[in-house]
Structure 1
C-alpha cells in the first residue's frame, strides 16, 4: 500500500499539469469532431470524403507535431536550470524549423493530391475530397507554427495558454462551419469546402491568440518578442533536428498505420470508410487524454533530468504511467458500454434517402468501437512511456521500436485480416491493436532499462 501511495500521491499534480494540455488537444480533435458531425448530416459520401482528405493531413500533421516535440524537453531542461539564453535559443530555432517544415508539408500534400486517383478509392469520394484538401493542406502552415509556440509554452509549464487558444479556434470553427457548410445568413452553401474554410481560418486565429497570450505574460514575454529569426546557431539547429527528426518518425509510424486503416477501409467501400472515420474520431478523443499525460511526462522527466534526480525521475514517470493505465481502463469500459450509441451521433437517421447507408455505417462503426475499447490501455501506455523517453532525450531506439511495432507487426495483420473475405473492417483494427500493444511493451522495457542504468551510473559517480 505504501509503495502504491508513492505513485498515487503524484496523481493530483500530474493531472493538474496535464489537464490544460489535454483540453487543448481535445480542442484539436473537437475541430475534427465538429467537421465530421456537421458533414455527416449531408451524407455518407461527404463524410467519407473528409476522412480520405484528412488521411493525407494526418500523415503531414504527425511529422509536424512530432518534430515540434523536440522543443519541450530542451526548454524544460533550460527552465529548471534557470538558463534563459538556452531556453530562448531552443524556442527560436524550433520556431524557425517548424515554419519551414509547415511550408514543406503544405506543398507535399498539395502536390500529392493526384495519388487519390491511384488508391482505388470510391470515385465519388475522391471528387468530393479534392477541393476540401486544397484548403486544409494550407492550414498546415499555421498549425505547425502553433505547435512550436505550444511546445515552448509546455516546456515552461505554462500549459493553460495553448488550451485557451484552442478553445478560441473551436468557437471560430463551429461558427464558420455552420454558416458555410449549410449556407446560413446569406452565405453560400459550400458543403465540405465550408468545413475546410472553418479549419483554415480557426488555425490562423489560434496562432495569433497564443502569441498574444504569451506576449502578455511576464515569464514568457522575453522569449516571444525581439526574436532575431534569421540569426541562427548551427549547433542548436543540429541539436533540434537530431532530436526532432526521430520524434517526427515515431509519430509518423503510428499515425501512418491509422491512415493505412483509412485507405484499407476505402477498398471495402464508402460505408466502411465512413464507419472507420467515426471510430477513428471517437478513439482520437480519448487518445488526446493520454497525449496530454505524455506531454506532462515529457515535461516532468525533462525537469528531473536537468536536476540530475534520476530516482525521483523514475518515480514520477511511473506515477504517470499508472494514471494513464487507470484512465485507459475507464475509457475502455465507456466505449464497450456505448459502442452502439456513440456512432449514431454522426449521422442523420431522419434522412430517408441515405437511411440504408447510415444504418450500415453505424453497424460497422459499432463493431470497430469494441476494438477501440480493447486497445485503450495499450494505446495510453505506449504514448506516456514515449513521452518519458523524449523527456530523457532518448529518441533513436524508440523510433526503431515504433517502426517494428506498427509496420513489421501491426500493418501485415491489418492488411491480411482486413480483406473482405476475412474480417473486413474489424480485421483492419485487429492490426492496430497488435501494433499498439507491441509498442507499449517494448517502450516500457526500454524506459525501465534506461532509467535503471542512469540510477546505477549516478550512484557510482557519487
Structure 2
C-alpha cells in the first residue's frame, strides 16, 4: 500500500470549510461531545471524593493526598501521548493512511514506555511524603490507594492515544458515550467496594483504587474494541504488526508531546503552589481557594474541549496545506472559547454567593469567614475566565501546527516567573492575602494568553507555516 491514498477516499480527509459558518458548524460538532466528555472525566474524580467524604475527613484527606501525588505523573504521560492528535490530524489532511496507522501504533508504544517508567516513581509515595513531613497515618492510607491506582497508568494513557485518534476523525461522540458509561461504572464499583455493599468486602481506600483501575481498563477495552471493529476505523488496522517499530514517529510523539506535558504541569503546578501559599495564611483561605478552583476548573472544561477540537481542525488544515483553513479553525475555536467564558465570567460575578452556598452553608457561623473569602476568590476567577479561555484555545491551535516548544517556554515563564511572584508580592508583601494570590494567578494567565494569541496571529511571520509552503511576509 502506498503512503498516499487515492483522492477517491472520501472519509479520510474532510472538505475544507468554505465559510465561517461552515467552520462554526464543524468546530461545534467536533467539540461539544469533547466538552461533555471532559466534564464526565472530572466526574470520575468527583465521585470518589464524595464517597470517601462519606467515610469521614480522615479518609478524604488520605485520598486527596494520594490523588495529589498521582495526578502530575498521569498528566505528564497524558500530555506526551496527546501529540497523537495533531500528528494524526495532519496525516489525515495529507491523506496519508499508512502514517496514521504507524502514529497510533507508536502512540501505544509511548503509552507503555511512559507507564513503565512512571510506575516505580508513583510507588515511592510513602518515603517521599514522610520526608516532606506528612502525617504518617494519612500517608499509610494514601499509599494503600496509590499502590492500586498506579497501575491505571497503562490503560489511562492508552485511552488518550485512542481518544486522540478518534478525535482526529471527528468521532467524538464515541468518546463521550464511553466516558459517561465509565462514570456510571466507577460510581457503582466504588460504592460497592468502599462500603462493602451487595455482599462485597469493605475495602475503603483500596476499594476506591480498585474502582479507578477497573474503570480505566474497561474504558480502554471498550474504546479499542470500537476502533478495531468499526467499519470506518477497522480499515486502518492499528494493531497490524504491532511490535514493528517506527522510530521516526515514536520520536515525533515525544518531541511534540514532551513540551505539551511540561506546559500542563507548569499550569497545574502554579495552582498547586498557590494552594501552598494559601496554607501559609490559614485554613479558611485554603477552603475558599478549593471552592473557587473547583468552580474555575469546571468552567475550564468547555474551552479545553474547544481547544482539543482546534488542534484537530488546525492539524487537518495544516496537513492539507490550507492556510485559510488554519486561520478559520484557530480563530473560530478562540471566539467560541471567549464567548463561553464571557458567560461564565458574568455568572461568577453575579452569582458568587449562591455558588459558594452549594459548598458551604453560610448560616453556620464557623463557615462565614471561609464563605466570604470564597465569594471574593470566585469574583476574581470570573475576571480571569476570559484570559484562561484565550490561552487554552490558542495553545491548542498552535499544537495543531506542531508548535509546542516555544509555547511551553512562554507558559513556564508566564506562570512561574510572572504569575507566582505576583501572587507572592500581592499576597504577602502588600498584605492583600488570598485576594492578592488570586490576582497574581490572573496576571500569569493573562500574560501567557497575550503571548500565545499573538503567536498564533503572527504564525506566518514567525515561519510556523513554512513546511506547507507559506513564506514569511
What TM-score comes out, normalization by structure 2 length?
0.86
Two-structure CA RMSD over aligned residues (Å):
3.1
Gaps of 5+ in 2: 1-17
Match for 2:382 among 373, 378, 381? 373
CA contact (8 A) 1:102 1:140 kept: yes
Change (3 A) 1:439 1:295: same
Query: In structure 2, which of residues 183, 190, 198 is the aligned counterpart of residue 177 of structure 1?
Result: 190
Deviates more, 1:449-458 or 1:85-94: 449-458
Counterpart contact for 1:40–1:348, Cα < 8 Å: no
How far does residue 357 in structure 1 lie from its aligned partner after superposition? 6.2
In 2, Cα distance between equivalents of 1:344 and 1:254 = 28
Distance 1:343 1:304, change over 3 A: same
User: Which residue in the other structure is 1:282 paired with?
Assistant: 295
Please state if 1:438 is matched with 2:444.
no
Cα distance between partner residues in 2 of 1:428 and 1:280: 12
When residues 448 and 413 of structure 1 are mapped into structure 2, their CA distance, relative to the original with a 3 A threshold, is: same
Deviation at 1:310, TM superposition (A): 0.6
Distance in 1 of aligned mates of 2:366 and 2:139: 18
In structure 2, which of residues 401, 404, 408 is the aligned counterpart of residue 395 of structure 1? 404
Counterpart of 2:162 in structure 1 is: 149
1:455 & 1:69 partners in 2: Cα distance?
20
Structure-2 separation of matches of 1:332 and 1:8: 26
Q: Deviations over 1:175-224 (max 9, x none)?
A: 12322334433444444443333222211111111111112212211335
In the alignment of these two chains, the number of paired residues is 453
5+ residue gaps in structure 1? none
Asked if 1:106 corresponds to 2:119, the answer is yes
Q: CA deviation at 1:382?
A: 0.5
**CA contact 1:339–1:370 (8 Å) conserved in 2:** yes
Q: 2:149 pairs with 136, 144, 150, which one? A: 136
**1:40 Cα deviation from its structure 2 partner:** 3.5
Shift of 1:394: 1.0
2:103 pairs with one of 90, 96, 101: 90
> Given that residues 362 and 371 in structure 2 are in contact (C-alpha distance below 8 angstroms), is that contact kept between their aligned partners in structure 1?
no
Change (3 A) 1:264 1:181: farther
2:5 match: none
- 2:207 equivalent to 1:198: no
Residues in 2 aligned to 1:128 and 1:282: alpha-carbon distance in whole angstroms = 28
Change (3 A) 1:50 1:226: closer
Give the match's secondary structure for 2:414. helix
Residue among 321, 336, 359 paired with 1:323:
336
Alpha-carbon distance between aligned partners in 2 of 1:129 and 1:363, rounded to the nearest angstrom = 31
3-state DSSP of counterpart to 2:431? coil
CA distance in 1, matches of 2:191, 2:358: 17
Given that 1:7 and 1:318 are in contact with CA atoms closer than 8 Å, whether structure 2 keeps it comes out as no
Contact 2:285 2:370 in 1 (8 A): yes
Q: Distance in 1 between matches of 2:414 and 2:274?
A: 15
Contact 1:36-1:346 within 8 A present in 2 as well: no
CA distance in 2, matches of 1:53, 1:422: 32
CA-to-aligned-CA distance 1:254-275 (integer Å, 9 cap, x gap): 1221232344444556655454
